[in-house]
């Protein structure tokens, strides 16, 4: 049943004046009575008011959909009203109602009114559709707007006769926290706008959701993969596949969707190393390296976060127990020692997992074992060679560490790819032996041999990093400058390559378990927290700079910033790039500089305010909070100065702080 089947010209009024919610409902009921489907108007009206007592039907954005299901209704019907001047309706957003649809439904098992309510609500969320209804000059125009929009909606739902979506998509980012779901929403919104059916599989921190089925893949016309980590592409063999950065899924969804449906887009073949961007072309070597590295980092993070927080708890317990000055700090108290041991186990897996999943990203499952073994070798000490290095005893415990793990991962992945080519001429009957026997045995042997050759220079490089950190510790000004630079990088592209480079560097320094490494990690997290917090604060201090919708969205950034989810700032940066990014970079640099100046040490790589208790020394916790707050204020003030006033901010009495004269009159 269509919405237009329930409406008639005599149940529509486009120039209603009402003094209150009760007044407009009574007028709507009187309008509905003209449909001839109400046996007892008084009973029906009481039913409508009773429904309002349960909760308001003013759904916000100037829309109300009152309704009643009753025995006194013979068949379903609709009445519609436009109230140009608006009427106070106790709507969910507190705004006056300008557009009202009244639903009458018979008391049957069909629940027709619920279906109509759902369809109406979905259509009315389209601001353009709503505005067209309000601006309709005649009742016929009003009906035509609905008929055109509903026909397009029904056509969209019937684009594929068998019910399968035309376009499938997969979104994924290294941490799986924000970009994954922002890309999903952007693709869905754009597909809806283009009237193209779509289904999006998300591969976030909670695993794969809304997984695409074999039937859906078989019937789809094109596939969009917006991901910065490797996903299983071979399942889409025989389809037009468009692959791009997850950021392009957020910022260029229309181009990706259209390219996936374009007959000129090449058909993807299983095993084909091809990736297109929104503008076409092959994937760059730089992006390949970045993608594989981020795949390893995303799988490594749970070990770093879990282990880091457990170790931080150990230090916290010993601090409370009064053992802060002890040489065995972190292991003095038995409970602290237990936490540090377990945390150390988790930390110990970090490099192996990093290596294994970099190799997995490059070569699939056969690369996992080879890469992980290489990562293990990278973490082992080469005593014989290290003993000759200047005779320095502390160097005996050194290993290739994080840097060696990265090298092992890439080495393992490409070894397996080369083995695949080398054994490609084997009989097909032996295909099942390759990943289970040939690749692991030969791959691990080659990986081990090469790693033992390159492990020594990598160890020297790793020692160089440690010595550099120690040296910087003696030159605090340099460490402070580095902290400011890392803070600035965290706000440069907010989840993009520069942000991730700073974050990966921070986690690598955290893995050194040195004072300087902890200070660097603190600067990285502070820099990442500031952009969303600064934007949220700016929306409160300078509401005239933002639309009503933006102010509502900005409020959520308090939570995202507190949780160290920098990506909350992306929608605002996309809308006004240079002003927002420059403001965020300024605030984040200040926050990083201050954490370095205060020598705040952070022992956990993620979590925002939820891991502030892990900051060492304990007295630095309030100083760290002050650093983040000051950085956020700097960002907010810069936004207040640089951003222009929004043309229609829809403000109440609070007009916000103003700098200079208002040029946007």
Of 284, 411, 285, 415, nearest in space to 358 by CA: 411
**Residues forming beta bridges with residue 201, ordered by sequence position:** 170
The Cα–Cα gap between 594 and 207 comes to 37
Q: Name the CA radius of gyration of the chain, rounded.
A: 30
**Residues forming beta bridges with residue 25, ordered by sequence position:** none
Q: Using an 8 Å Cβ cutoff, are 229 and 203 in contact? A: yes
**Residues forming beta bridges with residue 102, ordered by sequence position:** 79
CA 387, 392, 396, 402 dihedral sign is negative
Quick count: other Cβ atoms within 10 Å of Cβ 186?
Answer: 23
Q: Residue 381 — φ and ψ, nearest 5°?
A: -80, 135
DSSP string, 282-324: PPPHHHHHHHHHHHHHHHHHHHHHHHHHHHHHHHHHHHHTT-T
Active-site entry in 67, 179, 299, 606: 67
User: Residue 35 contacts by C-beta under 8 Å, 6 or more apart in sequence?
Assistant: 8, 10, 11, 77, 79, 104
Q: Using an 8 Å Cβ cutoff, are 283 and 212 in contact? A: no
Q: Using an 8 Å Cβ cutoff, are 78 and 3 in contact? A: yes
Pairing, β 615-616 against β 601-602: antiparallel
Longest C-alpha distance within the chain, in Å?
101
The Cα–Cα gap between 231 and 168 comes to 14
Q: Where are the alpha helices (DSSP H) in 512-613?
A: 515-541, 548-562, 570-575, 577-597
Q: Judge whether 68 counts as a catalytic residue.
A: no
**Residues forming beta bridges with residue 105, ordered by sequence position:** 69
Active-site entry in 173, 220, 483, 600: 173
Q: Residue 124 — φ and ψ, nearest 5°?
A: -75, -15
Q: Judge whether 67 counts as a catalytic residue.
A: yes
Q: Report the first-to-last Cα separation within the chain, whole angstroms.
A: 48
Q: Half-sphere exposure of 402 toward its Cβ, with a 13 Å CA cutoff? A: 20
CA 397, 401, 407, 410 dihedral sign is positive
Quick count: other Cβ atoms within 10 Å of Cβ 646?
Answer: 18
Residue 100 DSSP code: E
Q: Using an 8 Å Cβ cutoff, are 411 and 447 in contact? A: yes
Task: List active site positions.
Answer: 67, 173
């Amino acid at each position: 049943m269509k919405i237009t089947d329930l409406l008639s010209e005599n149940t529509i009024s486009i120039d209603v004046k009402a003094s209150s919610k009760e007044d407009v409902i009574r007028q709507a009921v009187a309008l509905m009575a003209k449909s001839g489907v109400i046996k007892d108007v008084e009973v029906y009206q009481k039913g409508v008011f009773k429904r309002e007592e349960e909760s308001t039907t003013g759904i916000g954005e100037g829309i109300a959909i009152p309704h009643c299901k009753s025995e006194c209704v013979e068949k379903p019907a609709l009445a519609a009203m436009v109230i140009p001047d608006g009427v106070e309706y106790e709507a969910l957003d507190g705004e006056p109602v300008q557009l009202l649809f009244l639903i009458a439904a018979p008391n049957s098992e069909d629940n027709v009114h619920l279906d109509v309510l759902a369809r109406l609500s979905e259509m009315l969320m389209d601001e353009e559709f709503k505005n067209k209804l309000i601006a309709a000059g005649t009742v016929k125009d009003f009906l035509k707007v609905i008929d055109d929009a509903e026909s397009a909606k029904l056509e969209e739902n019937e684009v594929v006769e068998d019910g399968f979506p035309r376009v499938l998509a997969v979104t994924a980012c290294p941490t799986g926290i924000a970009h994954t779901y922002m890309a999903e929403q952007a693709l869905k919104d754009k597909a809806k706008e283009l009237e193209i059916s779509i289904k999006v599989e998300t591969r976030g921190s909670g695993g794969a959701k809304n997984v695409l089925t074999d039937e859906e893949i078989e019937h789809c016309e094109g596939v969009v993969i917006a991901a910065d980590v490797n996903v299983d592409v071979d399942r889409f063999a025989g389809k037009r596949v468009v692959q791009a950065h997850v950021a392009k899924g957020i910022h260029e969804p229309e181009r990706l969707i259209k390219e996936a449906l374009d007959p000129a887009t090449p058909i993807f073949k299983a095993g084909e190393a091809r990736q297109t961007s929104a503008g076409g072309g092959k994937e760059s070597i730089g992006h390949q390296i970045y993608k594989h590295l981020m795949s390893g980092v995303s799988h490594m993070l749970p070990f770093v976060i879990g282990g880091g927080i457990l170790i931080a708890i150990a230090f916290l317990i010993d601090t409370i127990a009064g053992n802060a000055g002890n040489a065995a700090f972190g292991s003095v108290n038995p409970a602290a020692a237990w936490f540090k041991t377990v945390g150390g186990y988790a930390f110990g897996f970090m490099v192996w997992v990093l290596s294994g999943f970099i190799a997995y990203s490059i070569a699939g499952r056969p690369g996992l074992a080879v890469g992980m073994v290489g990562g293990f070798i990278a973490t082992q000490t080469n005593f014989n060679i290290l003993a000759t290095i200047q005779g320095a005893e502390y160097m005996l415990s050194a290993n290739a560490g994080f840097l060696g793990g990265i090298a092992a991962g890439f080495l393992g992945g490409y070894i397996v790819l080369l083995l695949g080519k080398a054994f490609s001429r084997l009989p097909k009957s032996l295909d099942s032996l390759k990943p289970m026997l040939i690749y692991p045995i030969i791959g691990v042997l080659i990986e081990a041999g090469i790693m033992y050759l390159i492990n020594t220079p990598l160890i020297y490089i790793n020692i160089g990093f440690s010595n550099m950190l120690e040296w910087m510790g003696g030159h605090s000004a340099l460490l402070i400058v580095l902290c400011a630079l890392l803070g600035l990088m965290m706000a440069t592209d907010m989840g993009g390559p520069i942000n991730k480079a700073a974050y990966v560097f921070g986690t690598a320094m955290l893995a050194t378990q040195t004072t300087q490494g902890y200070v660097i990690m603190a600067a990285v997290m502070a820099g990442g927290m500031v952009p969303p917090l600064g934007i949220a604060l700016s929306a409160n201090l300078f509401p005239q700079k933002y639309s009503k919708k933006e102010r509502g969205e900005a409020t959520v950034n308090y939570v995202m910033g507190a949780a160290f989810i920098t990506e909350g700032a992306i929608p605002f940066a996309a809308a006004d790039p240079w002003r927002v990014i420059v403001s965020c970079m300024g605030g984040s640099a200040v926050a990083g500089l201050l954490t370095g100046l205060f020598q705040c040490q952070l022992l956990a790589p993620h979590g925002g305010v939820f891991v502030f208790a892990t900051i060492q020394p304990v007295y630095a916790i309030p100083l760290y909070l002050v650093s983040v707050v000051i950085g956020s204020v700097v960002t907010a003030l810069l936004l207040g100065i640089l951003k222009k006033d929004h043309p229609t901010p829809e403000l109440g009495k609070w007009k916000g702080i103003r700098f200079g004269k208002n040029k946007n009159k």
